[in-house]
Chain A
Amino acid sequence: MTEQNTPLVEMKNISISFGGIHAVENASVDLFPGEVVALLGHNGAGKSTLIKVLSGAYKRDNGEIMINGETVDIRNPRDAKKYGIETIYQTLAVADNVDAAANLYLGRELQTKWGTLDDVAMEASTREVMGRLNPNFKRFKEPVKALSGGQRQSVAIARAILFDARILIMDEPTAALGPQETAQVGDLIKQLKREGIGIFLISHDIHDVFDLADRVFVMKNGKVVGHARTEDVTKDEVLGMIILGKVPPGATPGPGAMKVA
């Protein structure tokens, strides 16, 4: 699928700085339909910042975002959702004082013809989506804060896929989960991939994502070190990219690659 000509998402030469510090500098990444791209790097390498530009949480200083080859203007999370970009944040970003249905539909509530909340309809479709995702989930009436980490994670994922996302961004999707729940998320990613959704996985731990990803982009100090197809490189080589910025022969170097003397 990676051979297709037009990428689903193309972020070109993105830069963003906070108070004179370049959090992301001249970074370019792309993503094709049905592809899983891992974005790797140390804490503070700029991967979350770069992806927040795509999800509308931050506004870029420079650069261009193209969806299906067309330049788009993403200024806030609402714009991003309009283009089918859904994000699952590292912090899960759920309002934990309201129940699962309220969280799934947060900002996009269904309303009755009198303009009141249609709680019944929202809960019905919440039950349907959660049934597909996590059949053991039964606690629909309780505030999300009463749920376990894995259950909260499924609420966050359900929210993202409920609205026919085409592009899914997962920031440290398994950071808060146990081994069994991590495996579940892995299965879910494969399922979504088959449905033709493009997925960005962000992680500082290569073991979490290497086997799931088709390609990896490595960032260091706000710059892209390089990218490679996972079949062309080994885990150790990718680790070298993360730690030293050393680009192996199987990878394409980026602006952040270590200069070979």
Chain B
Amino acid sequence: MAETIQSTTNSKTSGAAGQAEGNFVARFFRATEIDTRMLGMIGALLIIWVGFHILTGGFFTDEGGLFLTPRNLWNLSVQTASVAVMATGMVLIIVTRNIDLSVGSVLGFTGMIMGVLQSRLLPELLGFDHPAIWIVALACGMLIGGLIGALHGVIIAFMGVPSFIVTLGGLLIWRGATWFVTSGQTVAPMDVNFRLMGGGTEGSIGATWSWVLGVIACLAIIAAIVNARHQRKRFHFPRRPVWAEYVLVALGCIVVLGAVYIANDYPWPEAIARRYAEANNIAWPEGGLFISQGIAIPVLMAIAVGIVMTFIATRLRFGRYVFAIGGNPEAAELAGIKTRWVTVKIFALMGMLCAIAAAISTARLNAATNAQGELDELYTIAAAVIGGTSLAGGMGSIAGAMLGALVMQSLQSGMVLLGIDSPFQRIVVGMVLVTAVWLDTVYRSRAK
């Protein structure tokens, strides 16, 4: 009896303590205005990372884990880039209650076109290794991707065929068309400058420039927060407490500089470093030469795409229309928005992003193949949905989708490190997708 009473009081006090702590946490999030949803995703990402690190022998054994190593994280960032680029466009498509199943095939097709251009057609016109080849190839790829997307958009918006069907057709058609470009032959190698978009030793910007970009990013974070505070002050909107602003600046800068540090901590492979040393008449030191990779160019491209797409989605009329159409298509139409043209533009934009993703993945493989981008449509959609884009329309964020892409890629790459068979990898990815959306549904119904 006495014991029972004891235990009840115990649980009471611990419950009260938990509540006080919850209040502090709640207060912290309210003050910093950090989106708890986004935070949940970052938490999930950290759990995945730490989990894989432990499973591959990290923390508790002497060997050290394989996941949280500069090498793996650097590779992870490069592997994520292609799907992350497409996920930014998929957000806008899903926000307007559409879907695009053709992105993997469009990636394959534009990749093949760019491959043929740079390895067969352009060298004849401009000369081998001409510096303009990569940009001409990329521009043509984006143009063709944009036209394919616009065609999908016109059929969806003006001919009234559901986007699911149009892009399902596109999935088959463009995969087939990819084959016809070279009758199934793989095109390789890629142009020397084009290849930089795929990352790798040459496709990274090195330690110095990585630090420069990192510092610029930190200054941009500070400027953004100061500006936001200034704007709120001008219009007498409630402001965050000053300490919260400092916390946000500190968090942002730590993440940015930490990422730069990790990228710089991954050195060139020894063979390449040795060749470089020989070419530049540097004596080979005893412990080996440590040359930092720095941030990879495809990662920078993905970040740039993310910033541009966020700007389009939040600062331009077009983005406003996209969200209004997603929220209430009828109201948008009655408000005088040319909803059909907006739909066409969204799909054209998606096509162009597919071409950028194609450039990254063909450059990384140093070849354009028939199978390039297969299943990417599903990873892209999954990234957007895990990133908080609602299939009911009207809700979604670019940053969330890119984070979603990172979550998907982390799972994949972790399972590869563990040596899990690829059929089982798919099973896991599928289950994670369903679970993530279920959790999101629960969260949203609570939020209401």
Contact = CB atoms under 8 A, between A and B. Distances in A.
The answer to whether A and B come from one shared complex is yes
Of the candidates A81, A87, A93, the one having the most CB atoms from chain B within 10 angstroms of its own CB is A93
Interface stretch (B170-178, B302-310, B331-339): B331-339
25 contacts: A77-B333, A77-B334, A81-B336, A87-B334, A93-B331, A93-B335, A95-B323, A95-B325, A97-B328, A97-B394, A98-B320, A98-B323, A98-B324, A98-B327, A102-B324, A106-B331, A107-B335, A107-B336, A108-B336, A109-B320, A115-B316, A116-B315, A123-B235, A124-B235, A141-B237
Contacts of B231: 120
Given A95-B323, A97-B394, A97-B395, A109 B317 contact: yes
Contacts of A95: 323-325, 327-328, 331-332, 335, 394
A87 to B, nearest CB: 7
A120 B332 CA distance: 22
Secondary structure at the A interface, as helix, strand, loop or mixed, is loop
A96 B235 contact: no
A192 interface: no
Contacts of A117: 315-317, 320
B332 A106 contact: yes
Interface in A38-67: 55, 57
Nearest to B328: A95
A77 B335 contact: yes
B278 interface: no
A91 B328 CA distance: 11
B326 interface: yes
Interface string A99-118: 00010001111010001110
B227 to A, nearest CB: 12
Contacts of A78: 336
A76 interface: yes
A97 B323 contact: yes
Given A77-B336, A87-B334, A96-B328, 7 more contacts: A91-B331, A95-B325, A97-B324, A97-B327, A106-B337, A111-B317, A117-B320
Interface string B224-240: 00000001000101000
Contacts of A106: 320, 324, 331-332, 335, 337
Nearest to B331: A93
B270 interface: no
A109 B314 CA distance: 13
A94 B328 contact: yes
Interface string B394-409: 1100000000000000
B21 interface: no
What are the 4 A-B residue pairs with the smallest beta carbon separation, nearest first? A97-B327, A95-B327, A97-B394, A107-B335
A116 B316 contact: yes
A83 B6 CA distance: 78
Contacts of B327: 95-98
Contacts of B326: 97
Contact of B337 (A92, A94, A107, A141): A107
A116 B335 CA distance: 19
A95 B337 CA distance: 12
B366 to A, nearest CB: 39
Contacts of A123: 235
Contacts of A109: 317, 320
